[in-house]
C-alpha cells in the first residue's frame, strides 16, 4: 500500500481561483517526496488538503489507505505536519507544546516523556525546552516544531517549506536534521519547498508543480538527465526572441530553451559545448556573456515553471 495516493485532486476556492488542478501522484512508504514549485503554485494547498484543513473540490487523496475526506480523523492520526509559519503556543514552554501534541495524538504519558527527552536531545534544544517559546529564536522554534511533529511517531510527516525565512546556518542545520529523518525507513516525508538544493539533497523523487498542475515528476537525477550533459547560457544584449530564432535556425537551440530576463538557457543534449559556442560566434549575436556549464535542478525548475520561448521564437 502506498503511503500517499493522490488521484485527480483539485481545489477551486470560492471566487473561482483554481489553486490545484487535478494532480496525481503516489508516494511509497519510507520515501522522501518533494513538491517543488514557485509561490502560489499550489504546494501549500495540496498539503492543506492532505492534512484535512482544506477541503478538496475534486479527486481523492489517501494517507496509508485512508481517504482524507471520508475519514479525516483516521487520516490525521497517522500524520503530523510542520507548517510554513511558526505555529506554536508562545506563552507555553517548549515541553508543554510537545506534551500537548503527545496527548492529542494519544501517546501514553510515560512514552511521551521518553520520546520528548530523546527528541530534544537529538535536536539540540534540551537547555531551552523548559522555557517559554516566546524567547526562542526562529531556528529554535523550527526545531521545536519538528520535534513536536515527531512525538507521535507519525507514519507520514508533512514539511511545508520548513526552512523559509531562516538564516543560512540554521537552514543548513535543519536540513541536516531532516536528512537524519530519512534514515528512519518507516516514515514517509512529503516536503514542499522552492529551494532547489533542499529538494535535490533530501528527496528521492520530486514533483514540480506549476499553476496547480504537476509538470514533471521523477528522481532528481532523471530530471537533470532530461536536459543533457551541458547547458549553453547567453546573456543577450539585444532582442531575446530574435536571438533564439537565430539559434534555432542554426540548430543549436531546441524546444526546451528558456529565458529568464535577458539570459537564454539552451540545453545542448547531444551537441557539444564548443560547437555551440562557435555557432554563437558565427551568428554574431549581441551578447554580454556566453558560456557553457553543467545543468542543475534550477534549470529543470526554471524550464518547467518559467516562460518557455519555444512558441515565441
Partner 1 sequence: MTSLANTAVLPQPRRGLPSLAPLVTLARRRLQLTARTPRELVVPLLTPVMFALVIAPALKQALHTDGHYESYVALGTVGLLIPLNTMFAGLGVIVDREHGAQRELLAAPVPRALLVLGNLLVALAVTGLQLAVLIGAALARGIHFSASTAGVVWFVAAALLFAIGMYGVAETLANRVPKQEEYIARVPAIAILPWFLAGSLFPIDALPSGLDWFAKVLPLTHGLALMRYGLLDDSSGLHAIWRMHSTTTMAALSLAVVAAFATVLTAVSIRVFTRSAVR
Residues that bind partner 1 (CB under 8 A): 13, 48, 51-55, 73-74, 76-77, 79-81, 83, 87-92, 96-97, 100-108, 111-112, 114-115, 118-119, 121-124, 148, 150, 152-153, 173, 176-177, 180-184
92 vs 226 by CB, closer to partner 1: 92
CA distance 294 to 30: 31
| Cβ pair 289, 235 in contact under 8 A | yes
Q: Smallest gap, in angstroms, from Cβ of residue 185 to partner 1?
A: 10
| Cβ pair 180, 189 in contact under 8 A | no
Q: Smallest gap, in angstroms, from Cβ of residue 42 to partner 1?
A: 13
Residues listed for the chain: 313
122 vs 283 by CB, closer to partner 1: 122
111 vs 197 by CB, closer to partner 1: 111
CA distance 76 to 52: 8
DSSP-derived secondary structure letter, 286: -
CA distance 33 to 193: 11
96 vs 229 by CB, closer to partner 1: 96
Q: Smallest gap, in angstroms, from Cβ of residue 274 to partner 1?
A: 44
Q: Smallest gap, in angstroms, from Cβ of residue 98 to partner 1?
A: 11
112 vs 268 by CB, closer to partner 1: 112
91 vs 221 by CB, closer to partner 1: 91
Q: Smallest gap, in angstroms, from Cβ of residue 149 to partner 1?
A: 9
Backbone angles phi, psi at 270, to 5 degrees: -85, -10
Sequence-separated (6 or more) residues with CB below 8 Å from residue 212: 10, 18, 19, 20, 21, 23, 41, 42, 45
User: b vs e for 160-190, b when ≥16 Cβ sit within 10 Å of the residue's Cβ?
Assistant: bbbbbebeeebbebbbebbeebbeeeebbbb
Q: Smallest gap, in angstroms, from Cβ of residue 91 to partner 1?
A: 4
Backbone angles phi, psi at 187, to 5 degrees: -110, 130
Q: Smallest gap, in angstroms, from Cβ of residue 146 to partner 1?
A: 9
159 vs 259 by CB, closer to partner 1: 159
144 vs 309 by CB, closer to partner 1: 144
| Cβ pair 267, 256 in contact under 8 A | yes
As given in the structure block, the three cell numbers for residue 287 are 551578447
Q: Smallest gap, in angstroms, from Cβ of residue 279 to partner 1?
A: 48
Q: What is the DSSP string of 94-127?
A: HHHHHHHHHHHTT--HHHHHHHHHHHHHHTT-TT
As given in the structure block, the three cell numbers for residue 135 are 524567547
Amino acid at each position: 500500500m502506498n503511503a500517499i495516493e493522490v488521484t485527480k485532486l483539485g481545489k477551486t476556492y470560492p471566487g473561482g481561483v483554481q489553486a490545484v488542478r487535478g494532480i496525481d501522484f503516489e508516494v511509497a512508504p519510507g520515501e522522501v517526496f518533494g513538491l517543488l514549485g514557485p509561490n502560489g503554485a499550489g504546494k501549500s494547498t495540496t498539503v492543506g488538503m492532505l492534512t484535512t484543513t482544506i477541503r478538496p473540490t475534486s479527486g481523492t487523496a489517501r494517507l496509508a489507505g485512508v481517504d482524507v475526506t471520508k475519514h479525516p480523523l483516521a487520516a490525521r492520526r497517522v500524520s503530523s505536519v510542520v507548517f510554513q509559519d511558526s505555529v506554536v503556543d508562545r506563552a507555553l514552554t517548549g515541553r508543554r507544546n510537545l506534551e500537548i501534541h503527545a496527548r492529542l495524538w494519544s501517546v501514553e504519558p510515560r512514552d511521551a516523556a521518553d520520546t520528548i527527552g530523546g527528541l530534544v536531545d537529538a535536536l539540540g534544544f534540551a537547555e531551552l525546552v523548559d522555557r517559554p517559546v516566546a524567547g526562542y529564536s526562529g531556528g529554535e522554534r523550527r526545531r521545536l516544531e519538528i520535534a513536536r511533529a515527531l512525538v507521535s511517531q507519525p507514519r507520514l510527516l508533512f514539511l511545508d517549506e520548513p526552512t523559509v525565512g531562516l538564516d543560512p546556518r540554521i537552514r543548513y542545520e535543519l536540513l541536516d536534521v531532516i536528512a537524519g529523518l530519512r534514515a528512519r525507513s518507516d516514515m514517509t516525508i512529503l516536503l514542499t519547498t522552492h529551494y532547489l538544493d533542499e529538494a535535490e539533497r533530501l528527496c528521492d523523487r520530486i514533483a514540480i508543480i506549476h499553476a496547480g498542475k504537476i509538470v514533471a515528476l521523477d528522481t532528481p537525477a532523471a530530471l537533470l538527465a532530461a536536459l543533457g550533459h551541458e547547458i549553453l547560457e547567453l546573456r543577450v544584449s539585444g532582442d531575446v526572441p530574435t536571438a533564439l530564432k537565430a539559434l534555432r535556425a542554426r540548430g543549436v537551440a531546441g524546444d526546451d530553451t528558456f529565458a529568464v530576463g535577458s539570459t537564454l538557457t539552451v540545453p545542448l543534449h547531444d551537441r557539444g559545448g564548443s560547437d555551440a559556442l562557435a555557432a554563437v560566434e558565427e551568428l554574431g549575436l549581441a551578447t554580454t556573456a556566453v558560456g557553457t556549464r553543467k545543468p542543475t535542478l534550477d534549470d529543470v525548475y526554471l524550464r518547467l515553471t518559467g516562460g518557455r520561448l519555444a512558441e515565441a521564437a
